[in-house]
A and B are shown apart, each in its own frame.
Chain A
């Protein structure tokens, strides 16, 4: 699924301006626990999370994730955005809850990004 489709399905906003719509996400992973992400999140995934600290970007970088979407309208902290720009990591914010975000993407056929 392309990021522009993800954005549309989740009615999400792009946090900082990056031309990322054509990038492919292979799967989705939802978690508020960095420990869990580090244990089982597959490379190339879209991460759905409620965590907005800059550590999320570090984690996504280490795990080779494609993009991050913050759920429930949570705006990332300024240092999080700064780091994301530095690393070229696209960020989205959706007003949807975690449960509905996952449900929508899953029903559109986005695979499970965990092993």
Chain B
């Protein structure tokens, strides 16, 4: 594991660019800044050196060491241009981190000015701290991705030897139980992603399920959401036992709503739910008997990533 991480860092120092981790908007002074004013600049910003810039162009660097030497020499006050180091080692934004790191090591510098390639304009500085910070951040992202990957079961269909295979999940939804609203859709979403279904398809399935779940909570005594996942198709069946929809055509019209006030106050009930479910699905079937219940069937084709929501 440790060996793998080291290899990863080796890759990253080449992959990450100076521009990815550097500090922008850097403290700087101009050539005519007086040495006597430099102290405050270094002290207030807690830095040990700063670039000297003339009209955006880097002309030198002045460090705490230069400052101390000036004090030691006991010379009169002068402009930083007279005491600065002119031959500055810098890096370009588009260079890999390893380049910055090697320069810092080789010359024993604490910081390097960073320039934009071409125009030579100073855009920031990079320190060893920036490099370490950038690497750690990137590794953390990598770690999170690995975590998702390790819980992914995307190979499951390939592992099953059968002429036909399907996975079935069921979610129970209690009517009126607003506190748990969205749990089923959220659970389905996590599951689909773990199965390796694309984010676009997963989103459509999750939205359709969420809308259906809300309908169960707001309008029925509860019901169940049954999802069946096959390699090519996701089927979502939502069933309840009442009160039923008197006029399905009317219910499907965007904006038609029978939602009570409390539902609307929560931000729902604009009469878009069924219409939205239809939009998210490749096929939808809705049947209902007043007093008996409603049955909604939604199909989403796994390969149809261009399908609209």
Answer whether A and B are interacting partners: yes
> How close is A61's CB to chain B, nearest CB, in angstroms?
6
* Interface residue A36 (Cβ < 8 Å from any Cβ of B): yes
B199 to chain A: which residues have CB within 8 Å?
43, 64
A56 and B267 alpha carbons, distance in the complex (Å): 9
- The answer to whether the Cβ of B19 comes within 8 Å of any Cβ in the partner chain is no
B182 touches A62 (CB 8 A): yes
Most buried by A among B182, B185, B203: B182
Q: Does B89 contact A (CB under 8 A)?
A: no
CA distance A44 to B181 in the complex (A): 23
Q: Is the C-beta of A33 less than 8 angstroms from some C-beta in chain B? A: yes
Complex Cα–Cα for A32 and B266 (A): 9
> Which residues of chain A (28-66) have a CB below 8 Å from chain B?
32-36, 38-39, 43, 51, 53, 55-56, 58-59, 61-64
Any chain A CB within 8 A of the CB of B49?
no
Docked CA distance A51–B263 (Å): 13
Residues of A within 8 A of B272 (CB): 35-36, 38-39
List residues of chain A with CB within 8 A of the CB of B270.
Answer: 33, 35-36
* 0/1 string, B212-256, CB within 8 A of A gives 1: 000000000000000000000000000000000000000000000
A32 to B271, CA, bound (A): 14
> How many residues of A sit at the interface, in one of the four size bands?
10 to 19
**Is A35 in contact with B186, judged by CB distance below 8 angstroms?**
no
B182 touches A59 (CB 8 A): yes
Q: How far is the CA of A58 from the CA of B266 in the complex (A)?
A: 13
- Which of under 10, 10 to 19, 20 to 34, or 35 or more describes the interface residues of B? 20 to 34
B113 proximal to A (CB < 8 A): no
Within 8 A of B (CB), among A55-114: 55-56, 58-59, 61-64
Q: How far is the CA of A84 from the CA of B203 in the complex (A)?
A: 19
Contact of B182 with A34 in the complex, beta carbons under 8 Å? no
List chain B residues, Cβ under 8 A from A43: 199, 203
- Contact residues in B for A61 (Cβ distance below 8 Å): 182, 186, 189
* Interface SS majority for chain B: helix
Given A32-B267, A53-B267, A64-B199, A38-B182 contact (CB < 8 Å) = no
A interface majority secondary structure? helix
In Å, the complex CA distance between A56 and B181 comes to 11
* Known A-B contacts A34-B268, A35-B270, A62-B189; A55 and B182 likewise in contact (beta carbons under 8 Å): yes
- B206 interface hit (Cβ, 8 Å): yes
Min CB distance A105 to B, Å, is 21
Could you tell me if A38 and B266 are in contact, using CB atoms closer than 8 angstroms? no
Measured CA separation A55–B275 after assembly (Å)? 20
Known pairs A43-B203, A62-B206, A63-B207; A35 contacts B267 (CB<8 A): yes
Q: What is the distance, in angstroms, from A6's C-beta to the closest C-beta of chain B?
A: 18
Residues A1-51 near B (CB distance < 8 A): 32-36, 38-39, 43, 51
8 A Cβ contacts from B189-215 to A: 189, 199, 203, 206-207, 210-211
Q: In the assembled complex, how far is the CB of residue B127 from the closest CB belonging to chain A, in whole angstroms? A: 18
**Alpha-carbon gap, A34 to B215, bound state (A):** 13
The residues of B that contact A34 with a CB separation of less than 8 Å are 266-268
What are 14 A-B contacts with C-beta separation under 8 Å?
Answer: A34-B267, A35-B269, A35-B271, A35-B272, A36-B272, A38-B207, A38-B210, A39-B276, A39-B279, A58-B186, A59-B210, A62-B206, A63-B207, A64-B203
The 4 residue pairs across chains A and B that have the minimum distance between CB atoms = A58-B182, A35-B270, A34-B267, A35-B272
Given contacts A33-B268, A35-B276, A62-B186, 4 further A-B contacts (CB under 8 A): A38-B211, A53-B266, A62-B210, A63-B207
